């Protein structure tokens, strides 16, 4: 067993973890909930919270076996957190008996659990006695087995009849830490050598990426502060090469629009790859500040605009762009490995609502692409309504658009279609969708 944080009493970490889980159940993102956790506690609590969220479906089913009537929400979150962490000796971050004892201690000490310690103790002691049989009895419960909402499982079964189990299984694994080397400042082999010198092992992935064999804090990365490298998933690193590769522009400096640009990873990659004039737009002023900070660290510049990309009248000067990157708002169903709370926050109705936003953005931004230019449509989603079906509908209604060779849907840890574009050699990436559209005309 590897302790998540040996410096802090476990009961304190469990109290904070339960608070995060309760807030996610109430509709808050784990990222937002974690910002309210004390800085000293945050790394350990994040690790525990993410593990709980990856096993929450199982934990909720176990709690129903132990107590059909739910305790108060705070105590229910604490109990489910303990069950999610303790259901398997092999996966438990601490010895199971320690988790049980410290959860009871948390119930005794936490103001939100007043009067509930005996209940928590009784449930967990029974669980310890009957754990094997209770877990085995849930093998026919899809939500318990896969720890995803039933609608999510059903939708994947319909859309990916031969892949749905592999996708769900990968969603419950940790994502790798992948870096994008700033090739304007250093070559990939040279940066890999710098990593080796720092005792960090990595393997090349794609034209400018390196996947670490184990994650490290960013401040441990050589030259991070100086802008030598950024953290970016291998699938996300495909955007800039797809958009700029083979682009023929009337001038030597293509005009590129990055719509919905925050936090700026793809914006920066475009500028690292080529000499181009990039306009980056995001509707959120706070997120625009993050774009500016990231660009400043990397030593590249873009025109930043805080505006709604779907309303060009507010930001467009009338000059069409050579290339547009539309990284559209989506369910984020492809990045569940990194954000395990997403599965519990989304509702199936969100897909239709987001697909409508995506369609409006697509149609609006197509008008700012010059004839002969291109638009790259991207989502970090595995659902067809946000990818393949979206583009099929767009092409059916826009005779001046053609689909260039594109990866299409990339499933977590799967390779791109060989007849389209080469994917990273490791094949270890988030779920994404890419469609490169070219605009007909002189």
> Residue with structure tokens 């955007």?
239
Whether the CB-CB separation of 228 and 184 falls below 8 Å is answered with no
What letters, b where the CB count within 10 A reaches 16 and e where it falls short, cover 35-59?
eebeeebbbbbbbbbbbbbbbbbbb
Residues sharing a CB contact under 8 Å with residue 158, sequence separation 6 or more, in sequence order = none
Phi and psi, residue 336, nearest 5°: -65, -25
Helix (H, G, I), strand (E, B) or coil at 41: coil
Query: In Å, how far from its chain's centre is CA 334?
Result: 7
pLDDT at 421: 42
The reply to whether omega before 263 is within 30° of 0 (cis) is: yes
> Is 288 a catalytic site residue?
no
Helix (H, G, I), strand (E, B) or coil at 405: coil
pLDDT digits (tens, 9 = 90+) for 341-385: 999 999 999 999 999 999 999 999 999 999 999 999 999 999 999
Query: Which listed residue (260, 288, 380, 440) is catalytic?
Result: 380
pLDDT at 248: 86
Query: In Å, how far from its chain's centre is CA 21?
Result: 18
Mean pLDDT of the chain: 93
Alpha carbon separation from 297 to 182, 286, 294, 382, 431 (Å, rounded): 11, 17, 5, 32, 28
**184-188: Cβ within 8 A, 24+ apart:** 184/272, 184/299, 184/300, 185/223, 185/226, 185/227, 185/228, 185/299, 186/223, 186/228
Query: Of 48, 35, 115, which Cα lies nearest the Cα of 80?
Result: 48
pLDDT at 8: 82
Segments in 10-116 forming alpha helices (H): 10-25, 30-35, 42-54, 56-66, 73-86, 96-109
pLDDT digits (tens, 9 = 90+) for 11-58: 999 999 999 999 999 999 999 999 999 999 999 999 999 999 999 999
pTM of the model as a whole: 0.92
pLDDT at 208: 95
pLDDT at 425: 38
pLDDT at 5: 52
Domains defined for the chain, CATH in brackets: 10-141 (1.10.940.10), 178-231 (3.30.70.1170), 236-439 (3.40.50.150)
pLDDT at 411: 86
pLDDT at 427: 59
Would you give the DSSP letter of residue 306? E
pLDDT along the chain (442 residues), means of 10: 62 98 97 95 95 98 95 97 97 96 97 95 97 96 98 97 94 93 97 98 93 94 97 95 91 93 96 96 94 96 96 95 98 96 98 98 98 97 97 97 94 56 56 96 68
Separation CA 286–CA 291 (nearest Å): 9
Whether the CB-CB separation of 412 and 171 falls below 8 Å is answered with yes
């Amino acid at each position: 067993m590897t302790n998540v944080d040996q410096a802090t009493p476990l009961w304190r970490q469990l109290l904070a973890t339960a608070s995060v889980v309760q807030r996610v159940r109430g509709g808050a993102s784990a990222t937002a909930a974690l910002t309210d956790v004390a800085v000293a506690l945050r790394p350990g609590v994040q690790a525990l919270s993410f593990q709980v969220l990856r096993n929450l479906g199982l934990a909720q089913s176990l709690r129903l076996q132990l107590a059909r009537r739910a305790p108060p929400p705070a105590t229910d979150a604490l109990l489910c957190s303990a069950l999610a962490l303790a259901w398997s000796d092999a996966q438990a971050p601490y010895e199971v008996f320690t988790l049980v004892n410290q959860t009871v201690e948390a119930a005794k000490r936490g103001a939100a659990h007043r009067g509930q310690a005996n209940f928590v103790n009784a449930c967990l002691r029974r669980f310890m006695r009957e754990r094997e049989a209770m877990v085995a009895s849930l093998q026919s419960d899809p939500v318990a087995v896969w720890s995803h909402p039933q609608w999510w499982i059903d939708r994947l079964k319909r859309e990916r009849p031969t892949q749905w189990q592999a996708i769900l299984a990968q969603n419950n694994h940790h994502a790798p830490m992948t870096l994008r080397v700033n090739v304007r400042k250093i070559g990939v082999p040279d940066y890999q050598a710098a990593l080796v010198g720092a005792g960090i092992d990595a393997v090349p992935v794609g034209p400018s990426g390196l996947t670490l064999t184990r994650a490290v804090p960013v401040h441990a990365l050589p030259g991070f502060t100086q802008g030598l490298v950024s953290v970016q998933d291998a699938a996300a690193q495909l955007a800039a090469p797809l958009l700029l590769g083979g682009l023929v522009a009337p001038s030597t400096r293509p005009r590129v629009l990055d719509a919905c640009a925050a936090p700026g990873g793809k914006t920066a990659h475009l500028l690292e790859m080529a000499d181009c004039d990039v306009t980056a737009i995001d509707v959120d002023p706070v997120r625009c500040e993050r774009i500016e900070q990231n660009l400043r660290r990397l030593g590249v510049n873009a025109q930043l605009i805080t505006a709604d990309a779907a309303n060009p009248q507010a930001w467009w000067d009338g000059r069409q762009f050579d290339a547009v990157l539309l990284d559209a708002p989506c369910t984020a169903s492809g990045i569940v490995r990194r954000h395990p709370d997403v599965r519990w926050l989304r509702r199936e109705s969100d897909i239709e609502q987001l697909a409508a936003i995506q369609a409006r953005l697509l149609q609006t931004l197509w008008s700012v692409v010059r004839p002969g230019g291109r638009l790259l449509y991207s989502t970090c989603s595995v659902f067809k309504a946000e990818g393949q079906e979206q583009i099929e509908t767009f092409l059916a209604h826009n005779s001046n658009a053609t689909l260039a060779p594109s990866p299409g849907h990339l499933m977590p840890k799967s390779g791109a279609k060989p007849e389209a574009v080469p994917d990273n050699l490791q094949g270890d990436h988030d779920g994404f969708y890419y469609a490169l559209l070219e605009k007909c005309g002189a």
